[in-house]
Structure 1
Amino acid sequence: MSDDREPSVNISGGESGGGVAAEFDPATADTRAERIVDRLGERYWQKTYGGRDAFPCLVRTILSQNTSDVASQPAHDALIERYGNEPAAANPSGGGNVDLAAALSNAEHADLAETISSAGLYNQKSEVIIAAAEWVLEEFGSAQAFDAFVKDEPPTEVRETLLSVSGVGPKTADCVLLFAGGRPGVFPVDTHVHRIYRRLGIAPADADHEEVRAVLEREVPAEKCGFGHTASIQFGREYCTARNPACLEDPDACPMGDVCEQIGVYPETGEIVDPTDV
């Protein structure tokens, strides 16, 4: 087991920032999915979600696509250092705070790509980020107005609007709703979540990301969904890894072993296959 806990400074807002606090008790869980999340609640950090500014959160999530936090966090930090300290004149809404959308909409593609190169796919991501910044200014006028939209409008409307932006998929949209909007009942599905809940047998083996999300948002109480997302990622990194889950070496090593159906995992032979292929 790794001692690497979720960093205190990231898109979740650290120790606080809004959202809904939850209590975790596996003995009182109504579904298997809730029982898993409650067990994670006994093992990992417990905190609320929300409070991040929406556009920086969107940028941070785009940077995290198809890469690890170890790679994407330095790219985010470099981007903020370079573009988050533009003169106040870069803020069309006035005041002394930088409008990051305005700064990035004027960024040179090559310069931004160089700045975020540690995140991987930097040419593609720089195009997406610049286009997203231009979209925010065109549709909302400022990053501040976009933030208000994310926090105040109905979640379904916010999600559909975000999904209309090129390069923004369901996971990215849901992360903005969760980490910026602090919306309960949002369970973003990344590769870890997709893998884990099909292996456990909670979602169908052939379920795509959206189908897994639908199952989890239906079976996990709304106030536990945000925690379920971040804690499941940590669980996937420590125990239920893609190629070498803990149960292969020791049946008792995984804290979810007694409730897992091990779909696609064969300890007898050491074989690992995607649940879809079972």
Structure 2
Amino acid sequence: MSDDREPSVNISGGESGGGVATEFDPATADKRAERVVDRLGELYWQKTYGGQDAFTCLVRTILSQNTSDVASQPAHDALIKRYGGESSTDADEGREDGADLATSLSNADRTELAETISSAGLYNQKSEVIIAAAEWVLEEFGSARAFDAFVTDESPAAVRESLLSVTGVGPKTADCVLLFAGGRAGVFPVDTHVHRIYRRMGVAPADADHEEVRAALEREVPAEKCGFGHTATIQFGREYCTARNPACLEDPDACPLGDVCEQVGVYPETGDVIDPAEAVE
């Protein structure tokens, strides 16, 4: 479990992200999914949601696709160093302004950009997506700041639909922009950890796709807890419920959520671990 335990009170949404202080009490949870998130609330704390510049967040999330933070963070840092220019801040909102970055990336040489972000993997594909996204932001909204306002102020459904129109931007990327830039409550992005864990637990159907898992979680988890649920589930997936070697495989007491998990696709008696969808008869 992480040693980073501060602060003592969980805040889902965050004081600067439009959220409210959230109580995590499994005994009062109405739905099983909420009970799981509340149990995670006893394990982890989460910083604020929202407040990130929308275009910078979009680029960061594209870089993170199909790779780990360990690989994508250096790529993000290198990209910002080469293309970010002089950063500025909106004095009224305290938000970084991604205008220079959007303009730089819309004019970037694809080969040079691919080389810059090579540590993130799939760099040829991601460089094309990033350049296309920068061009789209400038053409559709006129500026990165206008795009930031769109993400913050328009309805989540409208923002999501618009982002999904960009080639290479999928539901998880769109939802991360809504959560981390827009600070939107009720958004529960589904990455590989979330998709695996809630099917393995039996909270979502074993053969559910990413969108079906998202729909189930957003339906059953209170809006103010969704952001925390996303990030805490990822942490839980890295520390306990890994894809190939979950903590319960050798010791049923090693997992702090073992008592609320159906272990779909996990077979401690044989040591086998399969995708939950493959466990459906």
Residue equivalent to 2:62: 62
SS in 2 for 1:51: coil
**In the alignment, which residue of structure 1 is the partner of 2:42?**
42
| Aligned Cα root-mean-square deviation (Å) | 2.2
TM-score (norm 2): 0.90
Indicate if the aligned counterparts of 2:13 and 2:185 stay in contact, CA closer than 8 A.
no
Q: 1:69 to 1:57 in 2, by over 3 A?
A: same
Aligned counterpart, 1:141: 142
| 3-state SS in 2 of match to 1:99 | helix
Provide the residue aligned with 1:177 in structure 2: 178
TM normalised by structure 1 equals 0.91
Secondary structure in 1 matching 2:21: coil
Provide the residue aligned with 1:52 in structure 2.
Answer: 52
CA contact (8 A) 2:17 2:182 kept: no
The structure-2 alpha-carbon separation of the partners of 1:208 and 1:98, relative to structure 1 and needing over 3 Å to count, comes to: closer
Q: Secondary structure at the match of 2:159?
A: helix
Give 2:139's aligned amino acid: E
Structure 1 partner of 2:165: 164
Give the 3 Å change call, closer, same or farther, for CA 36–49 of structure 1 in structure 2.
Answer: same
Percent identical residues: 85
Letter in 1 for 2:53: D
Please say if residues 197 and 212 of structure 1, whose CA atoms lie closer than 8 Å, have aligned partners that are also in contact: yes
Letter in 2 for 1:103: S
Residues 79 and 115, structure 1, Cα contact 8 Å, conserved in 2: yes
Supply the distance in 2 between the matched residues of 1:2 and 1:44 (Cα, whole angstroms). Answer: 8
Give the unaligned 5+ runs of structure 1: 7-11, 89-95
Quick one: which amino acid aligns to residue 198 of structure 1?
A: R
Provide structure 2 residue ranges, at least 5 long, that are not aligned to the other structure: 7-11, 89-96
CA distance 1:271–1:223, change in 2 (3 Å): same
Partner of 1:82: 82
Cα 1:210–1:97 shift into 2, 3 Å? closer
Q: Is the 8 A contact 1:20 1:48 kept in 2?
A: no
Cross-structure match for 2:214: 213
Q: How does 1:247-262 map to 2 (within 5 A)?
A: 247-262=248-263
Question: In the TM superposition, what is the alpha-carbon distance from 1:99 to its structure 2 partner?
Answer: 2.4
1:229 matches 2:230: yes
Q: CA deviation at 1:249?
A: 1.4
CA distance in 2, matches of 1:66, 1:4: 26
Structure 1 residues 127 and 198: CA distance shift in structure 2, 3 A: same
**Alpha carbons of 1:133 and 1:189: their partners in 2 closer, same or farther (altered >3 Å)?**
same
Counterparts of 1:273 and 1:30 in 2: how far apart (Å)?
A: 30
Is contact 1:21-1:48 (8 Å) kept? no
- 1:9 alignment partner in structure 2: none
Q: Distance in 2 between matches of 1:217 and 1:72?
A: 27
Q: State the distance in 2 between where 1:138 and 1:223 align.
A: 34
CA contact (8 A) 1:13 1:179 kept: no
Deviation at 1:19, TM superposition (A): 3.2
Instruction: Give the whole-Å Cα distance in 1 for the aligned partners of 2:48 and 2:21.
Output: 5
How far apart, in 1, do the equivalents of 2:188 and 2:228 lie?
A: 9
Corresponding position: 1:152 with 2:186: no
Q: Which residue of 2 aligns with 1:272?
A: 273
1:138 and 1:124 map into 2 onto residues whose CA distance is 21
Which amino acid counterpart does residue 119 of structure 1 have in structure 2? A
Change (3 A) 1:87 1:157: closer
Letter of the structure 1 residue corresponding to residue 220 of structure 2: E
Aligned to 1:92: none
- The one-letter amino acid of 1:54's match is A
Offset, 1:163: 0.4
Taking a change above 3 Å as real, the CA distance of residues 132 and 5 of structure 1, as seen in their structure-2 partners, is farther
Structure 1 counterpart of 2:94: none
